Amino acid sequence: MISALGLDIGSKRIGVAGCDATGLIATGLTTVERTSFQRDLEQFKQIVIGRQVQVLVVGLPYSMNGTLGFQAQQVQKYAQRLSVALHLPLEYMDERLTSFQAEQLMRSQGISPSRHRELVDRKAASLILQQWLDERRSKRLGDTQPGDISSLPSGP
């Protein structure tokens, strides 16, 4: 399987998620408080080595109309620097509404998102990575969905 790291890159914090050994389930790992690129990089190096990461999956904040705005360009610049410095391939996922979804999940668990911003970032990163894992698995299975009878053999 693959060891991927999901990142929700913000201007103050970066939510970090990893996947299990099977590549099926994404889990929030930590939140990196952004200070300097060099300090951020040191934290990421430890995570990458410890988890034997093979790919970075970064949430790209498209605008609701599907364009890449200023924030998305900033995320791309940072992600590319990180990818080069860590010698890892980089893939992007549309992250529209992941922070909103993360906040909704937290509210349903009785946790205040405004008091736990780092947890929102971590949950958003795990949603980004889970989406990537699901899409990857779907492509490997030949794009057949559960209940799709078109993939079943017909007749004797």
Q: How do residues 43-96 score in pLDDT, each as one tens digit?
A: 999 999 999 999 999 999 887 788 888 889 999 999 999 999 999 999 999 887
- Phi, psi for residue 33 in degrees, rounded to 5: -80, 120
Pairing of strands 4-9, 13-19: antiparallel
Predicted TM-score (pTM) of the model is 0.81
Pairing of strands 13-19, 26-33: antiparallel
In the prediction, which pLDDT does 13 show?
94
> Cβ distance 99 to 119 under 8 Å?
no
Domains and CATH numbers, the chain: 4-142 (3.30.420.140)
Q: Which residue has the higher pLDDT, 142 or 91?
A: 91
